[in-house]
Amino acid sequence: MSASLQALVGHLDARQVTPVAGGDIAGAYRVETPEGPVFVKHLPEAPAGLFEREAAGLRVLRAAGALSVPEVLHVDDSGLVLEWVDAAPRGVGDDAAFGRALAMLHATHGPHFGAVDDQTRGFLGTVEVDLTPASTWAESYLVRRVLPLVQRCVEMRRLDPRELGAVERLVARGEDLCGPPEPPSLVHGDLWAGNRMVDTAGRHWLIDPAVSWSHRELDLSMMRLFGGFGEAAFTAYQEVTPLQPGWRDRDGLHRLLPLLVHVILFGEPYAVQVVRALDRLDR
């Protein structure tokens, strides 16, 4: 056991530490304690503030009460200790029930787009994003999140500099591209299928969030980008809170953020997908 992992779990009176399936970035462990098992997420030399921001997001989602969220038991610079959840096999779960609950989560509205507290540094994966409060979704999303990430990808030589021009043209058309105005919604922010768990009792849980006040279509586009959610989830969502016309057409816009993060973290073939998305939008 590494020194940083030992420091993270040292207060637990750990009886056994077992690696378990987790994400692509951090290590995941089941730790047996006298009070029962807990889940530990660990990344030595993580970006400063990464786990504090994740813990804050988990607490905000848990307080909203729309979906189950693990309790944060401990956080430090290298990881999190969370309530253990007995997960059902992947693919099990009522997608319609999840869609209805997600609509309830998105009905939690904030005062601005961006950070849910006074900390304007957010993370998607380990990539920093700017959550400085903004009055419009176009400013928060295109100006403060997408444009800086494209600039970073160009600096890393993973995108051609001409893509900056394409994004700058999108910024100029931002109000039209982003669709009809909506109030800021509480979003998970990284809602691919692996960050939705179903436990053995059939309850839906949210994990690994990138929480912000954002347009609710951000979560729905992420769900469609990598798959894993049945059409029943989207149908049930709309039965609770109908989406604005053209929401599927805005998938390409809202998938830019996660795709750019994947370019930074993993490179090709995500750069190809970003270029294709920009080409379709920049018409």
Q: Which residues pair with 41 in a beta bridge?
A: 28, 80
**Total-model pTM:** 0.95
Residues 27 and 130 in one domain: no
Is the CB of residue 72 less than 8 Å from the CB of residue 28?
Answer: no
Last residue of a domain, one of 54, 83, 112: 83
Last residue of a domain, one of 48, 83, 118: 83
Whether 197 is in a domain gets the answer yes
Model confidence at 15, in pLDDT bands (50, 70, 90)?
confident
Whether 243 is in a domain gets the answer yes
CATH number of the domain that residue 211 is part of: 3.90.1200.10
Residues 13 and 77 in one domain: yes
Residues 32 and 124 in one domain: no
The string of pLDDT tens digits covering residues 134-172 is 999 999 999 999 999 999 999 999 999 999 999 999 999
Which amino acid, residue 55? A
Rounded distance, CA 212 to CA 217, Å? Answer: 13
Residues 254 and 213 in one domain: yes
Whether 89 is in a domain gets the answer no
Residues 198 and 107 in one domain: yes
Q: Which of 144, 123, 125 is nearest to 133 (CA)?
A: 144
Q: Range of 53's domain?
A: 3-83
| Domain count for the chain | 2
The residue assigned the tokens 């056991």 is 1
Whether 90 is in a domain gets the answer no
By CB neighbour count within 10 A (0-12 exposed, 13-18 middle, 19+ buried), where does 187 fall?
A: buried
Residues 26 and 50 in one domain: yes
Is the CB of residue 203 less than 8 Å from the CB of residue 93?
Answer: no
Residues 72 and 120 in one domain: no
The string of pLDDT tens digits covering residues 256-282 is 999 999 999 999 889 999 999 999 998
Q: Which of 89, 84, 57, 88 is nearest to 203 (CA)?
A: 88
Residues 201 and 246 in one domain: yes
Percentage above 90 pLDDT, the chain: 88
Percent helix, strand, coil in the chain, to 5, is 45, 20, 40
Whether 121 is in a domain gets the answer yes
Whether 88 is in a domain gets the answer no
pLDDT tops 80 at residue 91? no
Q: Which residues contact 63 (CB under 8 A, 6 or more apart)?
A: none
Last residue of a domain, one of 49, 83, 117: 83
Is the CB of residue 88 less than 8 Å from the CB of residue 98?
Answer: no
Lowest mean pLDDT among 18-22, 74-78, 168-172: 18-22
Rounded distance, CA 143 to CA 40, Å? Answer: 35
CATH number of the domain that residue 72 is part of: 3.30.200.20
Whether 179 is in a domain gets the answer yes
Reduce the DSSP state of residue 149 to 3 states and report it.
helix
